[in-house]
Amino acid sequence: MVKRPTVRRLGVGVLALLASLAPARAAEETVATALVVSVDVSQSVDAERFRLQMEGIAGALEDPAVVSAITGNPGGILFALVTWADRAQLALGWRRIASRAEAAATAAQVRAVPRQAGEFTCVGQMMRSVTAQVLPALPLPADRVVVDVSGDGIDNCTEPDALDAARDALLSAGATINGLPILVPGENDVVGAGAFRAPGYGLRPAGPGQGQETTLDGWYRAHVVGGPGSFLLAARGYGDFARALRQKFVLEISWLEPARRP
Global pTM reads 0.82
What's the rounded Cα separation, in Å, for the pair 156 and 36? 22
Q: For the chain, which domains are there?
A: 32-260 (3.40.50.410)
What's the rounded Cα separation, in Å, for the pair 114 and 81? 12
Mean of the per-residue pLDDT values of the chain: 84
CA distances from 59 to 10, 26, 150, 159 (A): 52, 32, 16, 35
Given a cut of 70, whether residue 19 has pLDDT beyond it is no
Radius of gyration of the chain (CA): 22
What's the rounded Cα separation, in Å, for the pair 8 and 28? 30
Given a cut of 80, whether residue 146 has pLDDT beyond it is yes
Mean pLDDT throughout 142-157?
94
- According to DSSP H, which parts of the chain are helical? 3-28, 47-62, 64-71, 100-111, 123-129, 160-172, 216-223, 241-254
What's the rounded Cα separation, in Å, for the pair 213 and 124? 20
The lowest-confidence range among 47-51, 101-105, 256-260 is 256-260
Strand 77-84 versus strand 88-97 pairing type: antiparallel
